[in-house]
């Protein structure tokens, strides 16, 4: 925050008075009613600025969250549509039809959601308009004339007195907090004057009240040409000092907004409000940084550049400091050792002055780094805000376009419906005229139709009477036929009974003879089965006698297979006798002739027979002896070849 042209800030003067031991916050109110009004305005302005800051922050967060949700929803819809399209095109045949139906239902549901969202936004806009109209009505009603009630006025005065006492206590706490911050070197949050507050005026369609040094409230409106131009120029001048251009940023935002002329006015106004709040917060951070620089005594540009030294001395100090810290003196001998080396090379500067200048240099670099961080963070926030605003404006344009298309469709539908109604009315009139013109003809036709119906009815009645007579005759014939069939059936049954009685004796004798024949056959079959069983028993007895004659007598001994045979026993005896008579055991896979062809084996066998193979000379001779060359594969025996193949 800049200083006033008439002297130091008034809030700093108030804080100095608060820091005095003999002063108290209530002594500030002895100046008259002007101080009290100033206190009320300051308190109201602080609360209003806090409310606006929170509202702007909430709006920006809401815009960002809404944009993120929209992006996630669109990405999910794209993934779902792509997956269903892949299944419908190249998926299993039994799932392609189902995927096509799901894709169609998803598209229809997305369109329904879009239309519902559009209708909801229209309802919200209508509710906002209704709320605005109701609020205007309430304000208008409140502004009417009414009768003054003295008791109510007295109660209001008492309430106002209590409110003033509470506000004084709150202001006292704020003053104490601000005095503590001043003591700690932090910037205060007191309201700026009209010269300082010009940098915090919102550039776009937002009215920001500012308190003048005389305690009056000033409204900066973008429609008031002189004040808005002064505020914008002040904001541009203050931001240009830190490498920014507020007018260029506002022009960039306006260019983004101008690309979407179909977007809602409320959306554009809210985007301007949020952008102005972000600019205000950025300028406050820059003003806080500059106020810290002023409190540290670095407000002068030359002092900030060289720290009170000459430019050539400061340049030489920076070069020497960088060189010695880079060489490692700052880490080996410490900072004091490196700066002592620098002080030795700077004529007219002792170690204490160099240390103080180094402290200033480090603090200045930190301040510059903080300024750079503030500018970079503002650039990132502004770019992200422009991207979010563009997407939100695009959606608003799409919504308004959809609303316009829907309105056009409704208008076209109304026009078509009116045309259809007119055509239907003309057709009805034509039909009525035709109906009236053909009234006589219809009467004659109706009379002819009635005569035709009467003749047809008479013919139908005659036909019905004839059919009844034919039906009665047919039923009589059917009854006679049934009676004749019944009489013939009874006569036939009677004749059959007489025939059965005559043939009963003959059939009885025949049945008895056949039963006797059946019994004789059964006895014969039983005798044949008994003879066959007897023959089978005799055959089994003969076979048992033959098996007993040829049955081998072998002991049931499982260990018998592990006992040596006669051939293996004779071979083991030969090997045992050969081992007892020979000087060495036989080597498996080699014959004696093949072993004695090896010079080293022959020498070792001879030394073993004499007991000299363990002497030093004997071992040396054995190690120096040549081994036999391997024989050709065709000279090997079958067993040797088997051993060689397994190696």
CB 29 within 8 A of CB 209: no
Indicate the residue among 469, 498, 525 that finishes a domain: 525
Rounded Cα distance, 385 and 275, in Å: 8
Q: In this predicted structure, what is the pLDDT of residue 430?
A: 87
Three-point CA angle 186, 191, 194, nearest 5°: 125
Which range is least confidently modeled, 65-79, 187-201, 623-637? 187-201
Q: Is the dihedral of CA 406, 256, 227, 218 positive or negative?
A: positive
Please state the rounded mean pLDDT for residues 461-485.
Answer: 92
Residue 260, CA atoms < 13 Å, CB-side half-sphere: 22
Question: Does residue 539 fall inside a structural domain?
Answer: no
Question: Does some domain include residue 108?
Answer: no
Residue 232 lies in a domain: no
The answer to whether position 92 is within a domain reads no
58-67, 213-222, 243-252, 449-458 — most confident range: 449-458
Q: How confident is the model at residue 181 (pLDDT cuts 50, 70, 90)?
A: low
Domain count, the chain: 2
Q: Encoding tokens for residue 328?
A: 């490692």
**208-211 vs 217-220, strand pairing mode:** antiparallel
Q: Please give the radius of gyration of the chain, using alpha carbons only, rounded to the nearest integer.
A: 62
Residue 182 token pair: 């001043």
Q: How confident is the model at residue 305 (pLDDT cuts 50, 70, 90)?
A: low
pTM of the model as a whole: 0.31
Which of 255, 362, 257 minimizes the C-alpha distance to 318? 362
For residue 336 the two structure tokens come to: 């004091």
pLDDT band for 231, please (50, 70, 90 cuts): very low
Q: What pLDDT score does 123 carry?
A: 66
Residues in the chain: 647
Residue 443: inside a domain, yes or no? no
At 469, the pLDDT band (50, 70, 90 cuts) reads: very high
* Residue 383: both structure tokens together: 């770019």
Is 3 among the domain residues? Answer: no
- Count other Cβ atoms within 10 Å, centred on residue 488: 10
Token pair of 624 as six digits? 């120096």
Neighbours of 298 (CB within 10 A): 19
Spatial CA neighbour of 628 closest among 606, 605, 604, 596: 596
Residue 207 has pLDDT above 60, yes or no: no
Mean pLDDT of 302-322: 73
Distance (Å, rounded) from C-alpha 266 to C-alpha 285? 29
The predicted pLDDT at position 585 comes to: 61
What is the percentage of the chain residues whose pLDDT exceeds 90? 12
CA distance 134 to 153: 27
In the prediction, which pLDDT does 145 show? 43
CA distance 134 to 107: 40
Phi and psi torsions of 219, nearest 5°: -105, 125
Contact 596, 602 (CB under 8 A): yes
Q: Is residue 433 in a domain?
A: no
User: What's the rounded mean pLDDT across residues 162-175?
Assistant: 66
Among residues 474, 500, 525, the one where a domain terminates is 525
- The tokens for 288 are 């806080």
Residues of the domain holding 613: 590-647
Residue-level pLDDT at 460: 92
Helix (H) / strand (E) element for 211: namely strand 208-211
pLDDT, residue 299, reads 47
579 has a pLDDT exceeding 70: no
> What pLDDT shows up at residue 646?
61
**pLDDT beyond 70 at 238:** no
pLDDT of residue 31: 46
Cα-based angle 49, 50, 53 (whole degrees, multiple of 5) = 85
Q: Which residue did the predictor score with more confidence, 636 or 609? A: 609
Q: Six-digit token pair at 587? A: 């080597």
Band of residue 480 on the pLDDT scale cut at 50, 70, 90: very high
Q: What is the pLDDT of residues 581-593, one digit of tens each?
A: 555 566 656 677 7
- Last residue within a domain, chosen from 525, 543, 566: 525
Q: Higher-confidence residue: 569 or 13?
A: 569
- For residue 281, what pLDDT band results from cuts at 50, 70 and 90? confident
Q: What is the mean pLDDT of the chain?
A: 72
H helix intervals, 309-350: 311-327, 329-332, 335-345
Compute the average pLDDT of residues 533-547.
92
d(CA 44, CA 36): 12
| 644 within a domain of the structure (yes/no) | yes
Q: Which residues contact 49 (CB under 8 A, 6 or more apart)?
A: none
Residue 139 reports pLDDT greater than 90: no
Whole-number Å distance between alpha carbons of 329 and 320: 11
Residue 534's H or E segment, with its range, is helix 439-550
């Amino acid at each position: 925050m800049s200083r006033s042209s008439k002297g130091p800030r008034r809030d700093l003067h108030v804080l100095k008075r608060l820091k005095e031991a003999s002063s108290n916050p209530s002594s500030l109110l002895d100046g008259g009613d002007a101080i009290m009004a100033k206190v009320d305005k300051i308190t109201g302005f602080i609360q209003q600025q806090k409310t606006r800051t929170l509202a702007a922050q909430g709006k920006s967060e809401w815009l960002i969250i809404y944009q993120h949700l929209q992006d996630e929803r669109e990405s999910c819809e794209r993934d779902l549509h792509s997956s269903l399209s892949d299944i419908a095109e190249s998926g299993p045949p039994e799932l392609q039809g189902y995927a096509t139906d799901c894709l169609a239902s998803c598209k229809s549901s997305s369109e329904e959601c879009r239309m519902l969202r559009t209708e909801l936004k229209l309802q919200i806009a209508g509710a906002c308009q209704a709320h605005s109209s109701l609020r205007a009505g309430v304000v208008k009603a409140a502004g009417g004339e009414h009768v003054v009630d003295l008791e109510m006025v007295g109660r209001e005065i008492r309430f106002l007195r209590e409110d003033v006492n509470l506000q004084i206590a709150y202001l006292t706490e704020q003053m104490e907090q601000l005095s503590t911050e001043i003591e700690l070197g932090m910037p205060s949050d007191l309201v700026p004057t009209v010269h300082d507050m010009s940098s915090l005026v919102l550039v776009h369609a937002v009215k920001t009240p500012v308190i003048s040094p005389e305690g009056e409230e000033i409204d900066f409106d973008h429609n008031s040409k002189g004040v808005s131009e002064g505020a914008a120029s002040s904001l541009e001048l203050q931001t240009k000092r830190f490498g920014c251009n507020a007018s260029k940023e506002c022009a960039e935002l306006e260019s983004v907004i101008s690309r979407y002329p179909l977007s809602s006015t409320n959306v554009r106004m809210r985007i301007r409000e949020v952008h102005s709040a972000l600019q205000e917060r950025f300028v406050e951070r820059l003003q806080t940084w500059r106020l810290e620089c002023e409190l540290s005594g670095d407000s002068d540009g030359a002092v900030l550049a060289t720290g009170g030294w000459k430019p050539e001395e400061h340049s030489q100090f920076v070069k020497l400091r960088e060189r010695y810290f880079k060489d490692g003196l700052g880490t080996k001998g410490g900072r004091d050792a490196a700066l002592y080396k620098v002080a030795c090379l700077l004529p007219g500067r002792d170690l204490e002055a160099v240390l103080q200048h180094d402290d200033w240099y480090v603090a200045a670099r930190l301040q510059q780094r903080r300024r750079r961080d503030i500018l970079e963070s503002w650039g990132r926030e502004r770019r992200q805000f422009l991207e979010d605003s563009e997407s939100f404006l695009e959606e608003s344009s799409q919504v308004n376009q959809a609303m316009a298309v829907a309105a056009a469709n409704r208008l076209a539908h109304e026009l078509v419906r009116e045309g259809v109604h007119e055509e239907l009315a003309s057709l009805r009139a034509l039909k009525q005229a035709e109906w009236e013109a053909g009234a006589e003809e219809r009467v004659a036709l109706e009379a002819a139709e009635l005569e035709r119906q009467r003749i047809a009815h008479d013919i139908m009645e005659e036909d019905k009477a004839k059919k009844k007579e034919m039906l009665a005759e047919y039923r009589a014939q059917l009854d006679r036929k049934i009676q004749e069939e019944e009489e013939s059936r009874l006569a036939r049954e009677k004749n059959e009974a007489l025939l059965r009685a005559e043939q009963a004796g003959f059939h009885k004798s025949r049945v008895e003879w056949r039963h006797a024949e059946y019994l004789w056959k059964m006895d014969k079959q039983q005798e044949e089965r008994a003879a066959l069983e007897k023959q089978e028993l005799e055959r089994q007895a003969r076979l048992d006698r033959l098996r007993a004659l040829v049955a081998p007598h072998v002991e049931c001994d499982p260990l018998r297979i592990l006992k040596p045979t006669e051939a293996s026993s004779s071979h083991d005896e030969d090997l045992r006798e050969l081992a007892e008579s020979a000087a060495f055991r036989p080597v498996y896979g080699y014959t004696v002739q093949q072993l004695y062809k090896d010079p080293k084996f022959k020498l070792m066998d001879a030394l073993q027979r004499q007991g000299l193979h363990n002497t030093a000379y004997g071992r040396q001779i054995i190690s120096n002896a040549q081994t036999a060359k391997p024989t050709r594969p065709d000279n090997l025996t079958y067993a040797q070849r088997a051993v060689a193949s397994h190696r």
